[in-house]
């Protein structure tokens, strides 16, 4: 009987390859999960929850004042244009929070240009869904809206 050794046959290697490929795929999945942690739960969730109540009063104040902003995009620049409320030309604070990538979040202090618009440099913002908050310089009111970049038509903050 002249049998070939097991390591020279096809079927043992085929049977070893199946579980081996599962182990490799699992290790790759673990590597991806470790390199890209999910930041869905904040560590200071209680403090943030208490802050939500303050935000609601600021949103109500914006409605009472009649503050309205329009967001448009021209090339690589977003423009915020104020259409209602007290327009004293003061600076505003704008926060862009990406829905899934917190490393792309931006907080900007904006001032009006010569035409009365607030230019927002959009090259720092990746395409996707954003939570945008517009605050008065003195933090007396706030507007917020979910948007998707790039913007192809005007987005209204009321």
Task: Give domain status of residue 115, yes or no.
Answer: yes
pTM given for the model: 0.68
- For residue 18, what pLDDT is reported? 93
**Do 12 and 64 have their domain in common?**
no
Query: What mean pLDDT do residues 70-98 have?
Result: 89
Q: What is the pLDDT of residues 11-27, one digit of tens each?
A: 999 999 999 999 999 99
- What is the torsional sign of CA 80, 61, 142, 86? positive
Gyration radius from the chain CA atoms: 26
| 121, two tokens | 């440099």
pLDDT band at 48 (very low <50, low <70, confident <90, very high): low
Residue 2 in domain = no
117 and 79 Cβ atoms separated by less than 8 Å:
yes
- Is residue 3 assigned to a domain? no
Q: Are 74 and 155 in contact, with CB atoms under 8 Å apart? A: no
The boundaries of the domain holding residue 63 are 45-157
Q: In the prediction, which pLDDT does 123 show?
A: 79
26 and 56 both lie in a single domain: no
Q: Which two tokens stand for residue 135?
A: 């605050």
Q: Do 26 and 54 share a domain, yes or no?
A: no
pLDDT at position 40 over 70:
no
Asked whether residue 77 falls in the same domain as residue 123, the answer is yes
Based on the fold, state whether residues 81 and 132 are members of the same structural domain: yes
Assess whether 104 and 59 both reside in one domain. yes
CATH code for the domain of 95: 2.60.40.10
Q: Which has more confidence, 57 or 39? A: 57
Lowest mean pLDDT among 63-67, 82-86, 93-97, 151-155: 82-86
Percent share of the chain, pLDDT over 90: 55
**pLDDT for position 147:** 94
27 and 71 inside one domain: no
Total of domains in the chain: 2
Q: Are residues 123 and 98 in the same domain?
A: yes
Co-location of 118 and 139 in the same domain? yes
Region 98-115 average pLDDT: 90
CA dist., res. 2 & res. 8, Å (int): 13
Let me know whether 106 and 152 are in one domain.
yes
Mean pLDDT calculated for residue range 1-5: 77
The contacts of residue 103 (CB under 8 Å, 6+ apart) are none
CA dihedral 28, 31, 32, 36 (to 10 degrees): 180
pLDDT for 70 beyond 90:
yes
b/e 21-55 (16+ beta carbons within 10 angstroms → b): eeeeeeeeeeeeeeeeeeeeeeeeeeeeeeeeeee
């Amino acid at each position: 009987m002249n049998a070939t050794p097991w390591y020279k046959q096809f079927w043992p290697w085929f049977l070893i390859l199946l579980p081996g490929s599962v182990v490799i795929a699992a290790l790759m999945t673990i590597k991806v999960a470790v390199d890209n942690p999910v930041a869905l739960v904040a560590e200071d969730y209680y403090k943030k929850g208490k802050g939500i109540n303050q935000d609601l009063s600021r949103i109500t104040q914006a409605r009472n004042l009649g503050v309205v902003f329009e967001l448009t995009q021209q090339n690589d620049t977003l423009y915020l244009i104020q259409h209602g409320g007290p327009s004293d030309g003061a600076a505003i604070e704008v926060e862009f929070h990406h829905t899934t990538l917190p490393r792309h979040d931006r907080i900007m202090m904006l001032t009006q240009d010569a035409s009365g618009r607030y230019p927002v440099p959009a090259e720092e913002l990746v395409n996707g869904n954003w939570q945008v908050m517009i605050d008065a310089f003195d933090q007396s009111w706030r507007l917020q809206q979910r948007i998707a970049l790039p913007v192809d038509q005007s987005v209204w903050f009321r």
